[in-house]
Amino acid sequence: MDQVTTLGEFIIEKQQDFPGSSGEFSRILSAIRLASKVVSQQINKAGLLTDILGAAGSENIQGEQQQKLDVYANDQFIKALRGRKVVCGIASEENDEFIPLNEEGKYVVAMDPLDGSSNIDVNVSVGTIFSIYRRLSESGTPVKESDFLQKGTEQLAAGYVIYGSSTMLVYTTGNGVNGFTYDPGIGVFVLSHPNMKTSEDGKIYSLNEGNFYKSSEGIQNYVKYAQEIDPATNRPLTGRYIGSLVADFHRNLIKGGIYIYPATTTSPNGKLRLLYECNPMAFIAEQADGLASTGKQRVMEVTPTELHQRVPFFAGSKLMVEKAVGFVETE
């Protein structure tokens, strides 16, 4: 049997990448690992537990109907991070305000605990997305909103968990992207996709074409371009859109492709949130030799002004992002 590296071993091996951290940073990744296992187990049996499917009867700040598993996942990640005492605050899609944790903690976490959750009832892959920063305010004081409003370039780590045909945790600390597949039989994540890189170009485009007439002329022209027969291949690009960012992004990372959620007439800044969807996925995309743009600038250069702000999002294979941005950057 080839050498198997577990996520736990990998985190310890890479500890030396953080000379300034006395293992505290690793404890955050371990907390995310733990919560991912718990959420994965619940998702995989959600079809059997009728009491956990369906809406929780509440709404999040986006006005979206919270699914019970949304709330459950949110609780699990908050509990796991609180338990490690190294995180001073969490910004979550499911909470209007940030959540103060341990005032001594040096780090803050932004997360979407269960992205794409409207797909749960139809057994489509969903995911958790996370982003980790060092706090700006003084340790030993209450966390401040400004601790969360940092550019994506300041991220220490970012990643996602995809709860699909298998559960995978994919993350970067700025030294490449590594993917770990969960083996429920022994309860560990094992390194299955070392040093992930996306192809420079690709044939898959992912966007909701139902928004065509709500999109700018540039986006409409991009869609028409994608559907034209490419003389080099004698075929158009391939449209693939699952309606779950993590699933679409992960497929494109592996196969090559682009994911786009542009500005529309009803969502003038797009739908995806900068802090806990666009920035972490942008960090992964760039570390895998891809790109991530708002259509006007590098996603990770945007200076956040509020926790739940949205930005248009183009991410994936470098040449595909450059091509798509070329259709909108002068708008």
**Cβ(172)–Cβ(159) below 8 Å:** yes
245 binds ligand P6P (CB under 6 A): yes
Given a contact cutoff of 8 angstroms between Cβ atoms, the answer to whether 42 and 69 are in contact is yes
> What burial class does residue 131 get, using C-beta atoms within 10 Å of its C-beta: 0-12 exposed, 13-18 middle, 19+ buried?
buried
Yes or no: say if 317 and 257 are a contact pair by the CB < 8 Å rule. yes
- Least Å distance, CB 60 to ligand P6P, is 11
Q: Which is nearer to ligand P6P, 108 or 245 (CB)?
A: 245
Closer to ligand P6P by Cβ: residue 245 or 311: 245
* CA–CA separation, 62 and 290 (whole Å): 29
Find, among 59, 165, 70, the residue nearest to 121 by Cα: 70
Cβ atoms < 10 Å from Cβ of 139 = 12
| Closest distance to ligand P6P from the beta carbon of 271 (Å) | 5
Check: CB of residue 160 under 8 Å from CB of residue 112. Answer: no
- Give the integer Cα–Cα distance in Å for 94 and 223: 32
Nearer to ligand P6P, 107 or 130 (CB): 130
- Count of residues near ligand P6P by CB under 6 A: 9
Q: Which stretch binds ligand P6P (CB under 6 A): 31-39, 47-55, 74-82, 237-245?
A: 237-245
Contact assessment for residue 142 and residue 97, using Cβ atoms and an 8 Å cutoff: no
**43/272 with CB nearer ligand P6P:** 272
Is the CB of 74 or the CB of 244 nearer to ligand P6P? Answer: 244
- Show contacts with ligand P6P in window 152-211 (CB under 6 A): 208
Q: Given the complex with ligand P6P, which of 15 and 309 has the nearer CB atom?
A: 309
One residue of 243, 297, 306, 331 binding ligand P6P per CB under 6 A: 243
DSSP letter string, 200-220: SS-SEEE--GGGGGGB-HHHH
* Number of other residues whose CB lies within 10 A of the CB of residue 304: 21
Q: 105 or 202: whose CB is closer to ligand P6P?
A: 202
Q: Which of 173, 178, 244, 287 binds ligand P6P (CB under 6 A)?
A: 244
Hey, which residues between 92 and 131 contact ligand P6P (CB under 6 A)? 115-116
Binding-site string for ligand P6P from residue 8 to residue 47, where x marks contact by CB under 6 A and - marks none: ----------------------------------------
Q: Whose Cβ is closer to ligand P6P: residue 148's or residue 276's?
A: 276
Among 106, 271, 310, 318, binds ligand P6P (CB under 6 A): 271
CA distance 243 to 168: 18
Is residue 62 close enough to count as binding ligand P6P by CB under 6 A?
A: no
Distance separating alpha carbons of residues 207 and 223, to the nearest angstrom: 9
> Looking at 31-39, 98-106, 244-252, 279-287, which segment touches ligand P6P (CB under 6 A)?
244-252
Tally of CB atoms within 10 A around 319: 16
Element (H, E) at 9: helix 7-13
* Chain residues in the site for ligand P6P (CB under 6 A): 115-116, 208, 243-245, 248, 271-272
